[in-house]
Chain A
Amino acid sequence: MDLQVVLFTLFAIGAIVSALFTVTRKNPVSSAMSLVAHFFMLTGLYLTLQAQFVAAVQVLVYAGAIMVLVVFVIMLLNVGREAQQTGPRTLRTTITVVSAAIIAVMIASVLLSKPTGYNTLHERAATMGNTSSIGKTLFTEYIFPFEAVSLLLLAALIGAVVLAKRHVKETES
């Protein structure tokens, strides 16, 4: 039996279970911790696809930076367990039915579609996902988007500071 089959099964089940935990937990801290577990499961899946650089960045950016930010905000806001829904009953039922319909349509459309016919990884995949190959492509073919992203991050940085800043009233004596 192939190693990829074993690892895929393991990580796929882990990813689905941790995603369900993220969505269903009442306590936001448990949700955040399940999401960290989910990101690690996805890292494993990326490794089964031989995308080593993406896997490393997934751990650094998502499990590292973004989740630390989320946990910090949960700490600052000190939100406890989510109280029982107070909204009207009919609205909640509608939402549940609509979500169930979306799930049914998406899973059915994937299952009923013709198999793609791609059964094994491309032979280039083994050398494609490493840092040197990614870096070469990023700094030649994708140099313009790369620079645009730096501008986007600067805008987000300024935006976040402006939004979260405490607006101190200027008291003139």
Chain B
Amino acid sequence: MMPTHIPLDYYLILSAVLFVIGVVGVVTRRNAIIIFMSLELMLNAVNLSMVAFSSYLGDIAGQMFVFFIMAVAAAEAAVGLAIVLALFRNKQTVYVDEINIMKW
């Protein structure tokens, strides 16, 4: 039987599930680019819960925060991918388990 309306909790559960999928991606993958994409998944999961709260509580602050999170995510994407590029140029790999120059 389908419910006749969607309570806020459904959006929060969906957001938690998406966040955990992102966490699993970050801890289990080796490719730095895919780790980076999993980070984006986590950011978007948080954005979803922010917008859900904003719409259900009638407060615009949540959508403002999403706007700023997107700006920070764009900055993070530019710098993160530049780091991956610089790393590949020096080590010829994007697999994080082969990069151990900080180990001693």
> Is A99 in contact with B7, judged by CB distance below 8 angstroms?
no
B34 on the A face (CB < 8 A): yes
What 0/1 pattern do residues 70 to 104 of B give for CB contact below 8 A with A? 11111111110111111011000011010000000
User: In the complex, which residue of chain B has the Cβ closest to the Cβ of A22?
Assistant: B37
Known: A4-B6, A156-B75. A62 touches B40 (CB 8 A): yes
Binding site for A on B (CB under 8 A): 2-14, 16-25, 27-31, 33-34, 36-38, 40-41, 44, 47-48, 51-52, 54-58, 60, 63-64, 66-68, 70-79, 81-86, 88-89, 94-95, 97
Measured CA separation A128–B10 after assembly (Å): 21
Measured CA separation A159–B56 after assembly (Å): 39
**Of B48, B78, B95, which one neighbours A156 at CB under 8 angstroms?**
B78
Measured CA separation A4–B94 after assembly (Å): 42
A-B contact count (CB 8 A): 238
| B22 surroundings in chain A (CB, below 8 A) | 19, 23
**Of A61, A110, A119, A125, which one neighbours B70 at CB under 8 angstroms?**
A61
- Interfacial residues of chain A within 51-79, with CB under 8 A of chain B in the complex: 51, 53-54, 57-58, 61-62, 65-66, 69-70, 73-74, 76-77, 79
Measured CA separation A99–B25 after assembly (Å): 10
User: In the complex, which residue of chain B has the Cβ closest to the Cβ of A25?
Assistant: B34
**Given A2-B4, A22-B34, A110-B9, 12 other A-B contacts at CB below 8 A?**
A5-B3, A62-B44, A70-B33, A74-B33, A77-B33, A77-B94, A107-B17, A133-B60, A138-B64, A153-B74, A156-B79, A160-B79
